[in-house]
């Protein structure tokens, strides 16, 4: 509790800057020593970086301090907390000239504990520390520790085995064969271009909403009529379109300035259960808004301020007109932007992908204003605003409702709740699809729109959605037809089924898959086979595409089943490791990570040895952990994937002959 109070207190101090990486402030080593009377003492030694001052444990809770606490009160009690080192006391201007006590260079905190009679298990605790350097304050941060206690009251260090996460025999620069690779190749460029096109598609859909479509003729006419001549009117309209594009691109800029050590933040969006539940709730609310139950808008004060400035100066005024459009159209564009945001920032995502998606969206919105300014007579060809725009919003509402289920599914998969199994997901999508089909045919309608006129466009869309519902039906069965390749990655995996699956996660897509890295190496040695590492995630769309579209292909399936040991390592698995397997790990970059869950372990194993932090990542190694060829990411071509497997197999056979 006191750590939270300290954080709040520091936020109130003017000029305080929090250090982003406290591992660079002090290096800690924690061990057990024997007190003068034989009582065990947990000793934490800090080697403090030059210029930093580590706060004493004697500092009050109201000021920055350090502490050492024990979590396992059922096994032992704290008798005393002492410190040693060259303690210094001075007043600190940054803290309002309050007297502070601190250490420089080195400090030792000693926690004397009394084991309870007959206690047996794991004693856990943490060192909570803060430090200051000029106007920078580091922390509060924690360094966990863990010791095993036996019935005699003896404490021994729990083996962290942190070195096992860093495989020294892996040499990315010199694999046995040079095939494969995860660099920025043409495949990734194609991926970025695809994301840009998806963003444009989202922008074109947004153009057809009631918040945007009526603005096209009004805005173009405003610029062409206000201008002194046609050239200046065209210039203003084109500038207006450019500013629309720029505003949406700028929305992605903050993601390039993530704090040091938080590069995986973008990936975590698709695996964090709370974020997924938030997105699920937001998308359901947007869907209900599109159905006309209520209106979602930004605070009018924000739009009014932007609108007021739209008349200030020529260039600045045009910019604020573009900003006003972005703000007032939020109720229609928000859900589409949300879809793009989560689609770009998935387990394979990056800030660059988000920029491409937002750029495509902004360009699609901007193009009509520039094009109709160049050819104003084309405005007469635009359909008139009317009830069809309301119908577009309602159709989007059904789509948003279907997308919302994906976010709930992500949370359900990661936490293994078992609520939204694959067949349940399909059933809900089928119900939504039937409702949308009936709406398009006019069988059902909403009160606020009246009875719609059913034309050829609606009938055509109804045929498409009806066909899609029929396509989904086999997904309810326990047959080979249940694998719906067109939408792989959206529903839960085949193994997450109401019909049950094997004990290993991933059963149903590859019969010999296991989830234990050490066991995979042991099987590889016993069977003289190379190991195929599959770094995957429950919420990884492209992982599911590989499992359901690439691995089942005969040329790939035969190779994997006959010649490889396949191990799927889920980097977003939130299941805690056993106490004795949890530890604190120091990364190659000097940071400190707490390895608490299965996902923590496998995500660190991937990033420490193979650099790439996105999923899927496929790696071929020998049982003695030698890299056979270059790792690859998502590879939709089964022939390319099979060729990569054969290349790795050839490398393994060559090494086995040495």
Give the pLDDT confidence score for residue 201 in this predicted structure. Answer: 83
SS3 per residue for 300-331: HHHHHHHHHHCCCCHHHHHHHHHHHHHHHCHH
pTM as predicted: 0.63
Q: How far apart are CA 138 and CA 52, in angstroms?
A: 9
Residue 541 has pLDDT above 70, yes or no: yes
Every domain of the chain with CATH number 3.40.30.10 lies at 517-656
Closest among 414, 394, 406 to 279, alpha carbons compared: 406
Q: What is the mean pLDDT of the chain?
A: 77
Q: 449 is written with which tokens?
A: 């729109």
- Residue 10 has a pLDDT of 37
CATH 3.40.30.10 fits 517-656, yes or no: yes
pLDDT of the residue at 17 = 32
- Residue 213 is predicted with a pLDDT of 65
- What mean pLDDT comes out for the span 70-98? 82
Q: Residue 106: which H helix or E strand, with range?
A: strand 106-115
Sign of the CA dihedral running 497, 347, 556, 627: negative
Instruction: For the chain, give the percent of residues with pLDDT over 90.
Output: 15
Higher pLDDT, residue 396 or 523: 523
Report which DSSP code applies to 549.
I
Report yes or no: 128 and 69 within 8 Å, Cβ to Cβ. Answer: yes
Ranges 157-166, 289-298, 326-335: which has the least confidence: 157-166
Burial class (CB in 10 A: 0-12, 13-18, 19+), 532: buried
Mean pLDDT of 433-439: 93
* pLDDT the model gives residue 471: 94
Confidence of residue 6 (pLDDT cuts 50, 70, 90): very low
Per residue in 571-586, pLDDT tens? 888 888 877 677 777 7
The pLDDT, as a whole number, for residue 220 is 65
Stronger pLDDT, 24 or 461, i.e. the higher one: 461
**What pLDDT is attached to residue 387?**
60
* CATH architecture observed for domain 2-158: Sandwich (2.60)
Q: At what angle do helices 351-374 and 330-344 cross, to 10 degrees?
A: 140
CB 536 within 8 A of CB 605: no
Spatial contact of 320 and 304, defined as CB atoms under 8 Å apart: no
Contact 536, 568 (CB under 8 A): yes
Give, as one character, the DSSP assignment of residue 391: H
For residue 458, pLDDT beyond 50 = yes
Between CA 161 and CA 584 the distance in angstroms is 10
* CA separation for the pair 573, 602 (Å, rounded): 9
Question: Facing residues of 24 across strands?
Answer: none
Could you tell me if residue 475 is left (phi over 0), alpha (psi between -120 and 50 degrees) or otherwise beta?
Answer: alpha
CA distance 159 to 439: 62
Residue linked to tokens 């800057």: 17
Q: What is the pLDDT of residues 152-204, one digit of tens each?
A: 777 776 654 444 688 888 888 889 888 877 543 434 444 677 778 888 887 88
More confident call, 382 vs 144: 144
Q: Which residues lie closer than 8 Å to 191 by C-beta, 6 or more apart?
A: 353
Q: How far is CA 392 from the centre of its chain?
A: 31
| pLDDT of res. 564 | 93
612 neighbors 633 (Cβ within 8 angstroms): yes
The Cα–Cα gap between 106 and 600 comes to: 31
For residue 140 the two structure tokens come to 């509060």
Give 575's DSSP letter. P
Residue ranges, CATH 2.60.40.1250, the chain = 2-158
The H or E element containing residue 521 is helix 517-527
């Amino acid at each position: 509790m006191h750590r939270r109070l300290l954080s709040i207190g520091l936020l109130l101090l003017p000029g305080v800057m929090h250090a982003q990486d406290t591992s660079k402030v002090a290096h800690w080593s924690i061990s057990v020593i024997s007190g003068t009377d034989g009582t065990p003492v947990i000793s934490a030694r800090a080697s403090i970086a030059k210029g930093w001052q580590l706060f004493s444990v004697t500092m009050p809770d109201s000021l920055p301090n350090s502490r050492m606490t024990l979590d396992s009160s059922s096994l032992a009690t704290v008798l005393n907390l002492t410190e040693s080192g060259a303690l210094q006391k001075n007043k600190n201007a940054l803290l309002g000239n309050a007297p502070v006590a601190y250490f420089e260079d080195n400090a030792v905190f000693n926690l004397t504990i009394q084991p309870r009679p007959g206690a047996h298990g794991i004693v856990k605790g943490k060192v909570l520390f803060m430090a200051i350097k000029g106007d920078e304050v580091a922390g509060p941060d924690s360094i966990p520790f863990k010791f095993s206690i036996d019935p005699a009251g003896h404490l021994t260090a729990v083996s962290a085995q942190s070195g096992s996460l860093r495989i020294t025999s892996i040499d990315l620069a010199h694999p046995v064969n040079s095939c494969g690779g995860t660099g920025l190749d043409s495949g990734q460029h194609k991926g970025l271009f695809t994301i840009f096109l998806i963003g444009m598609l989202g922008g074109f859909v947004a153009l057809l909403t009631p918040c945007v479509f009526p603005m096209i003729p009004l805005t173009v006419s405003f610029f062409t009529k206000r201008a002194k001549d046609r050239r200046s009117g065209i210039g203003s309209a084109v500038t207006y379109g450019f500013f629309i594009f720029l505003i949406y691109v700028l929305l992605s800029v903050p993601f390039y300035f993530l704090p040091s050590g938080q590069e995986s933040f973008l990936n975590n969006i698709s695996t964090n259960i709370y974020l997924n539940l938030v997105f699920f709730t937001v998308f359901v609310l947007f869907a209900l808004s599109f159905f006309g139950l209520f209106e979602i808008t930004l605070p009018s004060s924000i739009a009014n301020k932007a609108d007021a400035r739209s008349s200030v100066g020529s260039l600045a005024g045009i910019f604020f007109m573009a900003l006003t459009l972005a703000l007032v159209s939020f109720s229609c564009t928000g859900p589409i932007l949300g879809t793009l945001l989560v689609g770009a920032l998935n387990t394979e995502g990056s800030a660059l992908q988000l920029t491409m998606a937002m750029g495509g969206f902004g360009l699609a919105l901007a193009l009509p204003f520039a094009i109709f300014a160049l050819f104003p007579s084309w405005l007469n060809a635009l359909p008139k605003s009317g009830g069809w725009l309301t119908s577009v919003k309602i159709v989007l509402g059904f789509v948003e409702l279907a997308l919302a289920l994906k976010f709930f599914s992500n949370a359900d998969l990661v936490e293994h709740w078992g609520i939204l199994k694959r067949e349940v997901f399909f059933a809900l999508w089928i119900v939504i699809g039937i409702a949308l089909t009936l709406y398009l045919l006019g069988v059902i309608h909403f009160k606020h729109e009246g009875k719609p006129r059913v034309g050829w466009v609606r009938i055509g869309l109804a045929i498409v959605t009806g066909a899609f519902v029929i396509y989904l039906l086999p997904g309810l069965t326990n047959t080979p037809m249940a694998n719906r390749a067109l939408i792989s990655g959206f529903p839960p995996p085949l193994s997450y089924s109401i019909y049950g699956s094997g004990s290993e996660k991933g059963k149903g897509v590859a019969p010999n898959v296991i989830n234990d890295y050490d066991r995979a190496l042991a099987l590889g040695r016993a069977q003289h086979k190379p190991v195929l590492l599959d770094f995957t995630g429950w919420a990884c769309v492209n992982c599911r595409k590989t499992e359901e579209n690439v691995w089942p292909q005969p040329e790939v399936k035969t190779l994997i089943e006959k010649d490889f040991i396949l191990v799927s390592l889920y980097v977003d698995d939130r299941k805690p490791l056993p106490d004795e397997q949890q530890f604190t790990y120091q990364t190659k970059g000097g940071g400190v990570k707490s390895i608490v869950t299965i996902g923590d372990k496998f995500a660190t194993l991937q990033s420490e040895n193979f650099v790439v932090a996105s999923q899927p990542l496929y790696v071929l190694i020998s049982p003695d952990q030698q890299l056979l060829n270059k790792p690859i990411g998502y590879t939709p071509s089964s022939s390319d994937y099979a060729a990569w497997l054969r290349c790795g197999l050839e490398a393994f056979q060559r090494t086995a002959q040495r």
